[in-house]
Amino acid sequence: MAKYYDIDDIIVEEETVSVIFQKAASGVGIDPSSSIFIETGSKVELPFWLAHELQLRQAVSVNVPPCFNQKTRQELHADSAGVDLRSRCPFFYEFGCKIAPIVGDRTIGFLLLSAFKSRYKEILTKAHSVAFAAGSKFWTILTKEEIYLYETAQSAMASFKKWRMGGPRFQIASVLGRKRKSKE
Amino acid sequence: MYGSKASQLVKEFASGEKGQLTTYNNDLIREVVAECTQHHLDFQSLIRKMQEEGLDIQTAKNADHYGALIHHLAVVRNKRCLMAYMYNRAEIIRNLLWKIGHMLPQEIKVKLCSTEEEHFKNHSKALKNYMLKVEVDLTVVTSPSSSPISFPSPSPASTHAPDMVPPKDPYIKVRVIDDIGEGILLSDDKSANFALHSMHLLKRTDAEQFIAQGKMEELKG
């Protein structure tokens, strides 16, 4: 419940997973094309929030999502920093942590840890050395969590520089930040 | 898919920059609420069907039970999305008070719904009352005349950085970059002609509010 109001947490739980119904369910229109009766054993794509709750009640069994498949694992193993994780799942780590206990795949935890460890170093190095524009291609393959990390590292460096050099002390409120640009 | 409209709402909020408001999406909220009502009706009809079949709703786990469960979960999910949307917006709105003061500019006002405006007004009133009682103006950080106690940022979420460095000079050079209007009285009971692009030497305390509102900029010598 701690993350009830957390926007990112809500978006993570919107990721779809494919499930197999262990029980029949009637009167639901999950997929507009299919009938309103879901038979036992039918394979359906559900958002994570629904799949998770149904799995707790043993109504469905959850398959391992494609972003943790063998191909991704091999790519991560070969060159973890160059893999485009964003297109696979924008919240790769958060989603991985949520899905791991449900699908009962113990290897996902190791996969997340090793992927993060090797990418972490790369992100911090680039955040401190590469300018934003030059790093933009690198930028597109990061997951949301990694982008936060990247931004935090950059703002920490910017704050440090500002502290050392001394910068403007009065500033326009950030909510109004766009105002001048639109007028020009 | 169930809950997709609600998540669209949340994503719309998330797509804005941190601390920036998007326009209140009344239409989408109404659609999500309508979806909840529909789920409720479906849920009731499934439960009624089970009752008609003479089943115990608490224990029977047939297809209708799981159907009703899915509807229930969808309502709970929609509720969470709506709550998160309102909660996070309200937090930004309360923070506006620290950043740009008790008067909202028009460009921000149009993004709020009526209850949010009300919320801002009430919050502003409560804060003013509080400051009156403890006799400390928390919104003005560098005020030479008020009490020397300087408070740290009052809310942890507030991004208004207090100017903790003692100024070398009580006056700063500023340039006017937006229409301010005439007849503004400064603290020394003089008024100045703040024409667009004109430059002035002002007291820090006078200039601070205009800089925060984006109407002036500080000139660095």
Whichever domain contains B103, its CATH number is 1.20.58.1030
**Which of B69, B103, B131 finishes a domain?**
B131
- Statement: residue A51 has pLDDT above 80: yes
Residue A136's pLDDT is 64
The CA distances from residue B118 to A35, B25, B49, B114, in Å, are: 46, 17, 44, 6
Query: Mean pLDDT lowest for which of A6-10, A53-57, A77-81, B6-10?
Result: A77-81
A6 and chain B in contact, CB less than 8 A: yes
B176 and B127, same structural domain? no
Into which CATH architecture does domain A1-63 fall?
Answer: Up-down Bundle (1.20)
> Does residue B47 sit at the A interface (CB-CB below 8 Å)?
no
pLDDT of res. B221:
59
Domain range for B49 = 4-131
Q: Is residue B196 part of a domain?
A: yes
Do B92 and B22 belong to one domain?
Answer: yes
pLDDT of residue A151: 84
As a whole number, mean pLDDT of residues B146-163 equals 38
Which pTM does this prediction carry? 0.74
pLDDT value at residue B158: 35
Q: In this model, does residue B152 exceed pLDDT 60? A: no
For residue B180, is pLDDT > 80?
Answer: no
**Residue A85 near residue A142, CB atoms below 8 Å:** yes
Residue of B nearest to A24 (CA): B63
Task: Return the pLDDT at B120.
Answer: 93
CA distance B46 to B186: 69
Q: Of chain B residues 103-142, which have a CB less than 8 A from chain A?
A: 105, 107-108
Average confidence (pLDDT) over A48-60: 91
DSSP string, B142-158: S-SSS-S--PPPSSTT-
Q: Give the nearest chain B residue to A45 (CA atoms).
A: B1
A6-23 mean pLDDT: 91
| Whether the domain at A1-63 and the domain at A66-164 fall into the same CATH topology | yes
Range with the poorest average pLDDT among A131-135, B25-29, B129-133, B211-215: A131-135
- Separation between Cα atoms, residue A51 and residue A62, nearest integer Å: 7
More confident residue, B209 or A3: A3
Give me the pLDDT at residue B64, please: 87
Residue B158 lies in a domain: no
CB contact under 8 A, B107 and A27: no
Closest residue of chain B to A60, computed from CA coordinates: B66
Q: Is B139 inside any structural domain?
A: no
A17 membership: H or E segment, kind and range:
strand A16-21
- Cross-chain residue pair B11–A11, CB shorter than 8 Å: yes
One domain for residues B16 and B92: yes
Residue B82 in domain: yes
Q: What is the mean pLDDT of chain A?
A: 81
Q: State ipTM.
A: 0.79
Q: What is the pLDDT, as a whole number, of residue A34?
A: 58
Q: Report whether pLDDT(B155) > 80.
A: no
Same domain, B125 and B204: no
**Structure confidence at residue B149 (pLDDT):** 36
Tell me what pLDDT residue A96 has: 92
> Per residue in A118-154, pLDDT tens?
888 888 887 777 655 555 677 778 888 888 888 888 8
Domain boundary among B77, B112, B131: B131
Query: Do A7 and B13 count as a contact with CB atoms less than 8 A apart?
Result: yes
pLDDT, residue B75, reads 94
What pLDDT is stored for residue B150 in this prediction? 34
Q: Are residues B97 and B193 in the same domain?
A: no
Count Cα atoms within 13 angstroms, Cβ side, for B206: 20
Q: B131, B153, B187: which is the final residue of a domain?
A: B131
| Extents of the domains making up chain A | 1-63, 66-164
What pLDDT was estimated at residue B146? 32
Question: B54-99, pLDDT tens digit by residue?
Answer: 888 778 888 888 989 999 999 999 999 999 999 999 999 988 888 7
Three-class secondary structure of residue A14 per DSSP: coil
Residues B18 and B108 in one domain: yes
Q: Does B82 touch chain A (CB under 8 A)?
A: no
Contact (Cβ atoms closer than 8 angstroms) between residue A168 and residue B165: no
What band does A184 get if pLDDT is binned at 50, 70 and 90? Answer: very low
Higher pLDDT, B24 or A29: B24
Which of A25, A47, A170 is facing B211, going by the closest CB pair? A170
User: Could you tell me the strand order of the sheet in which A43-47 lies?
Assistant: A43-47, A16-21, A60-62
| Cβ within 8 Å, pair A174-B19 | yes
Asked if B177 and B124 sit in the same domain, the reply is no
Q: Provide the CATH number for the domain around residue B177.
A: 3.40.5
- State which residue of chain B sits closest to A32, comparing Cα positions: B1
Mutate to test the interface with A, among B66, B80, B179, B204 (most CBs of A within 10 A): B66
The band of A33, judged by pLDDT with boundaries at 50, 70 and 90, is low
Judge: domain A66-164, CATH 1.10.530.10: no
Report residue B138's pLDDT band, with 50, 70 and 90 as the boundaries. Answer: confident
A167 at the B interface (CB within 8 A)? no
Number of domains in chain B: 2
Query: The tokens 């950080």 sit on which residue?
Result: B141
**Residue-level pLDDT at A130:** 63
Percent of chain A with pLDDT over 70: 82
Better-scored residue on pLDDT, B123 or B136: B123
**Which is more confidently placed, B156 or A165?**
A165
**Mean pLDDT, range A41-64, rounded to an integer:** 90
Q: Poorest-confidence range of A23-32, A133-142, A173-182, B111-120?
A: A173-182
Residue B210, chain A, CB below 8 Å: the answer is no
